[in-house]
Amino acid sequence: MSADIQHIVRPVVTRFAPSPTGRLHIGHAWSALMAMDMARTGGGVLRLRIEDIDGVRSRPEHVAGIIEDLRWLGVEWDGEVMFQSARLALYDAALDRLKADGLVYPCFCTRAEIAAEIAASGSAPHGSGGPLYPGTCRLLSDQERAERIDAHEPHCWRLDMARAVARAGPLSWQDMDRGTITAHPERAGDVILARKDAPTSYHLAATVDDAEMGITHVLRGDDLLSATDIHRLLQALLGLPSPLYRHHLLLADAQGKRLAKRTGGIALADLREQGVNPAHLREDLRAERFPVGIRLLSA
Ligand code: GLU
């Protein structure tokens, strides 16, 4: 069976995957509703995955708030709520595999050292998130790495992007709206796969989970388009299937600034307090009628 046909005959398994770093806003509500509708029209399943690997910014009260907000809005998910913080062993195993394949290396640099290195080099290559990591720790010897790890020097683990891309060969992924997209993960440089303060990263945890949960369709904001290139590469390196993707536009406020969890006034909790009827809100969001001052941010 070809990959395309598999996508057509398999029931939809999708997910909503918020990070519990604040309350949900109207953009999350729109995204969660689209995910639920995608699951329901395909006779499929919507999972709720809490991306709480960031031990400092993730808060239990935000988890409770997210669940309360989704219930109020009428978003129904299937099965238990999943917590990434309870799945660290899975991400560890994936990282171990990449270590065994020589595709990741420990990086001991501090932010200040990286900034100084970039400033000194004058012409650092840039990715979508700013200047790329200059690769300092890629050049360390195995012996130095081992000694510094033994000495408990704080370190993250970075993907050796050039090696990884050479190992995987040319890659593409399927976007439900835009068709076949050629992946350019090299634009992101040596991304972090396990952070200094967390045993994994968004990229690794999301890729491993999407595969392990049997996710067939990933729906998320178009701010994560370049992340999908990285996830496609990790899928290839780890022998994981690649789901179909859809990237929706983000919402912006009257000033044209992208909505963030901290932006006041459009949190679902506030709308609920103002007495907004969730059935009407669902109807409006499905018709892309947003509250006054909120609009789609064109890509
Ligand atoms: N946790 C991410 C966020 O809240 C979403 C990641 C994803 O859907 O892959 O932005």
287-299: pLDDT as tens digits: 999 988 899 998 6
Range of weakest confidence among 122-131, 179-188, 219-228? 122-131
Which of 220, 226, 245, 247 has most ligand 1 atoms within 8 Å of its beta carbon, as the pocket-test mutant? 220
Please tell me which residue, 68 or 253, carries the higher pLDDT value: 68
Distance CA 211, CA 32 (A): 20
Q: Whose CA is nearest to atom 4 of ligand 1?
A: 18
Q: Which two tokens stand for residue 23?
A: 């309350």
pTM equals 0.94
Sign for the pseudo-dihedral over CA of 209, 184, 177, 240: negative
Distance CA 13, CA 39 (A): 7
Please choose, from the candidates 222, 221, 246, 213, the residue with its C-alpha nearest in 3D space to the C-alpha of residue 44. 213
Give the pLDDT confidence of 102-133 residue by residue, as tens digits.
999 999 999 999 999 998 887 778 887 789 99
8 A C-beta contact, residue 223 and residue 31: no
Residue 83, Cα to own-chain centre: how many angstroms? 14
Domains in the chain: boundaries: 11-85+249-299
pLDDT confidence tier of residue 151, bands split at 50, 70 and 90: very high
The CATH homologous superfamily to which domain 11-85+249-299 belongs is: HUPs (3.40.50.620)
8 A C-beta contact, residue 8 and residue 248: no
Pocket lining for ligand 1, CB < 6 angstroms: 17-19, 51, 206, 220, 224
Distance CA 102, CA 23 (A): 40
Which of 69, 207, 224 has most ligand 1 atoms within 8 Å of its beta carbon, as the pocket-test mutant? 224
